[in-house]
Amino acid sequence: MMSYTNSNQDAGGLKQFVNKVGDAVGGMMGTASAATMGATNAETFVASAGAGDLYEIAAARIALQKAQRADVRTHAEMMIEHHTTSAHQLRSALRSTEVTSASPGLSVPTTPDTRRQTLLDHLAEAPADAFDDTYLDQQKLAHQETLTLLDGYGRHGDNPQLASYARGGAPMVQRHLRMIETMRG
Amino acid sequence: MSFNPLAERGIPLAKQLRSWSELNVEPYRTEDVHPYTRCRVIVMNGIEVESIMFSHQFARNTPDVELKQRLALVRRIEQQQQKAVNWLLPGEKQENAVEITIGYEQVAVDLTAWLARNEPDPYLRQCYEFGLLEDFDHLYRYANLMDLMGNGRRAREITGDYTEITPGRPTIFEHRDPRDDLRRPMTKVAAHRQSILNAMTLVSSEQQTMNYYMNFGNRPTEPLARALYLEIAEIEEQHVTHYESLLDPEQGWATNWLQHENHECWLYWSFMQTEVDPRIRAIWELHLNMEIEHLQIAARFVEESEGVDPASLIAPYDRAMTFEENKTYLRQLVEWQVDLTAWDSEFLPVDQLPEGHRYFDYQATVNRGGAPSEEVIRQHRERFGEEYRLETDGPHPVVSLREEDGGAKLGYERNMRAKHPQGAAQTIDAEPTPALAI
């Protein structure tokens, strides 16, 4: 992990520090939102779960270009594959009568929300020597948020099909989180 | 008129056991059996086999001795039912393995088509249509094999004119990465009750076909026949994966038992209404009366163990599954969907797959050296100057799949050439494998 001290906080370092704090705050806000509205309401759940997959895929694509560590690159490849599957499963769920009869017109987002776009911007801006740590820090926050969302909606969600989707995805996200924690050391 | 099996009285379980002579039923005569009677026999065998294997799995996963007794008692009767049904098929001298195979594939076509047409959920309907076009192609490949094996009968003698025999989604292009056979499951809470019955029917019948090809595919001595069976057996594995992934994986064992018994009741009830052979209709009726009792035993167990009202899990039947012609529907499907493939739980035209997609790698590996499903057509053309087709309603709706066109110009082939040239060279352009001569 990088450490930030008064002596090495040049302009670039300061920006990284601010970004890191911003990511952490954004992550906390996301987790709080996932634990409340996202845990019960179909529309909020689909928006958040869909944006989460978009973020994971976009972040992993940046990581494939910038990551220094081989294990980080391998992890990024896995994120693209697994979150593509997750996005496909969500899209299929939305086409079922179980969802269309209760929530007509519900659709997955096609671009990440502002908060996640900020995370992606920070990743793109991260200097090469700090990229892996920045990515893994974001991965931890993002997966914690997703797990909170899936666990909550899986238990309390208002649509059985989407709750089933949430329970189907949660074990994978839990495994991702353990891997990320191991990689962060 | 709707039928509620929970409100009916069946035959008490203690009176259901039959003697060997009662079970050793007289087979139908192949010369005069209606093609759809054969289909009903094949389907019901698959349904009974699934029910029996489910019961065994349930018994292996519970320590409850008294429950194991209930399962064993019902299962012994299910085993007897399976014998009484499957022994309706005549022996090898009347209908050999390839002829029965044609019957299996006619089932796959007209059963899946009916279920798709009567499926209330658009996603599930898409899943059924996707599988349907693949089984439709298998019928055509096996019909050509049947001719080459030279037993004197042709596929039309098995199917009648009820089902066309012509290319669907070409078998060579059906092979895909196992992850792309997994679909989105329905839920027992929110799914339409008909959707549950439809999916269980397809799981059971495709599983039966998979098991049949797994075990009988090595019985022919001709290398091409053995090769075609093993290639299509692998697609049946894909189909079982595809259909079983639609079932609710979270329903408990007891509820699942109830669903199995309900499923059997629905199909015996359906076939009892549509069977044209009075002797076989009597078997469907007898078995329905047995199944009503099995259902009620399972229903009592659901109430006792889960505290759930079984009537909340199943619904009275208002639609009888009916074997009938689906030619117009199939022609439209082939025209609209022949180029579809799958990526995870979604379906898309193959030309929308990204370059380097795992589909192309899988294709290049399994089709290396050519595919038996292409070779069987090539050999038929070589020997007879034409393919075996039964196109009763006009030329094939997809121009590139017409016989005179002589080769597929489908999206699959275009994409294989564009996105995986090495794979195309190893598959589409491969020299026929000499070992596959018949």
- Higher pLDDT: A25 or B70? It is B70
Judged against a pLDDT cut of 70, whether residue B432 lies above it is answered with no
Kindly identify which residue of chain B lies nearest to residue A158, measuring between CA atoms: B190
In the prediction, which pLDDT does A5 show?
A: 45
CB contact under 8 A, B123 and A168: no
Tokens of B118: 């009567």
Instruction: Choose from A46, A84, A92, A101 for mutation: most chain B CBs within 10 A.
Output: A92
Judged against a pLDDT cut of 60, whether residue A1 lies above it is answered with no
Nearest chain B Cα distance for residue A154, angstroms = 12
In the prediction, which pLDDT does B431 show?
A: 67
Position A28 confidence tier, pLDDT thresholds 50, 70, 90: confident
Give the residue-averaged pLDDT of A162-179: 98
CB contact under 8 A, B123 and A91: no
Spell out the domain ranges in chain A.
Answer: 9-184
- Flag whether residue A104 sits within 8 Å of chain B, measured between CB atoms: no
Instruction: Choose from A91, A95, A97 for mutation: most chain B CBs within 10 A.
Output: A97
Taking the model in full, what pTM does it have?
0.92
Kindly identify which residue of chain A lies nearest to residue B250, measuring between CA atoms: A164
Contact B419, B408 (CB under 8 A): no
CB contact under 8 A, A95 and B123: yes
B346-349 and B340-343 as β-strands: parallel, antiparallel, unpaired?
antiparallel
Spell out the domain ranges in chain B.
Answer: 5-328
Average pLDDT, chain B: 94
In the prediction, which pLDDT does B38 show?
A: 98
Q: Kindly report the backbone phi and psi dihedral angles of residue B240, in degrees, each rounded to the nearest multiple of 5, phi listed first.
A: -65, -40
Identify the CA nearest to A132 among candidates A66, A41, A58.
A66
Judged against a pLDDT cut of 90, whether residue A106 lies above it is answered with yes
Q: 3-class SS at A33?
A: helix
Can you tell me which residue has the tokens 């952490």? A24
What one-character-per-residue DSSP string does A99-153 give? HHTTSTT----SS--HHHHHHHHHHHHS-HHHHHHHHHHHHHHHHHHHHHHHHHH
Tokens of A63: 């990581």
Q: Kindly report the backbone phi and psi dihedral angles of residue A157, in degrees, each rounded to the nearest multiple of 5, phi listed first.
A: -60, 150
Residues 6+ apart with CB under 8 A from A57: A79, A80, A83, A84, A87
Judged against a pLDDT cut of 80, whether residue A32 lies above it is answered with no
The CATH H-level (homologous superfamily) assignment of domain A9-184 is: Ferritin, core subunit, four-helix bundle (1.20.1260.10)
Judged against a pLDDT cut of 60, whether residue B282 lies above it is answered with yes
The 10s digit of each residue's pLDDT in A147-157 is 999 999 999 99
CA distance linking residue B415 with residue B413, whole number of Å: 5
Nearest chain A Cα distance for residue B191, angstroms = 6
Residues of A in contact with B191 (CB under 8 A): 97-98
Least CB-CB distance to B185: which of A84, A88, A164?
Answer: A164
Residues of A in contact with B122 (CB under 8 A): 95-97, 100
Task: Write the CA distances from A52 to A12, A59, A116, A146, integer angstroms.
Answer: 28, 10, 8, 7
Judged against a pLDDT cut of 70, whether residue A11 lies above it is answered with no
Position A29 confidence tier, pLDDT thresholds 50, 70, 90: confident
- Flag whether residue A160 sits within 8 Å of chain B, measured between CB atoms: yes
Determine what percent of chain B is predicted with pLDDT higher than 70. Answer: 96
Q: What is the 3-state secondary structure (H, E, C) of chain B?
A: CCECHHHCCCCCHHHCCCCHHHHCCCCCCCCCCCHHHHHHHHHHHHHHHHHHHHHHHHHHCCCCHHHHHHHHHHHHHHHHHHHHHHCCCCCCCCCCHHHHHHHHHHHHHHHHHHHHHCCCCHHHHHHHHHHHHHHHHHHHHHHHHHHHHCCCCCHHHHHCCCCCECCCCCHHHCCCCHHHHCCCCCCCCCCCHHHHHHHHHHHHHHHHHHHHHHHHCCCCCCHHHHHHHHHHHHHHHHHHHHHHCCCCCCCCHHHHHHHHHHHHHHHHHHHHHHCCCHHHHHHHHHHHHHHHHHHHHHHHHHHHHHCCCHHHCCCCECCCCCCCCCHHHHHHHHHHHCCEEEECCEEEEHHHCCCCCHHHHHHHHHCCCCCHHHHHHHHHHHHHCCCCCECCCCCCCCHHHCHHHCCCCCHHHHHHHHHCHHHHHHCCCCCCCHHHCC
Position B30 confidence tier, pLDDT thresholds 50, 70, 90: very high
In the prediction, which pLDDT does A20 show?
A: 79
- Flag whether residue A164 sits within 8 Å of chain B, measured between CB atoms: yes
- Flag whether residue B192 sits within 8 Å of chain A, measured between CB atoms: yes
In the prediction, which pLDDT does B353 show?
A: 95
- Flag whether residue A161 sits within 8 Å of chain B, measured between CB atoms: yes
In the prediction, which pLDDT does B415 show?
A: 74
Position A74 confidence tier, pLDDT thresholds 50, 70, 90: very high
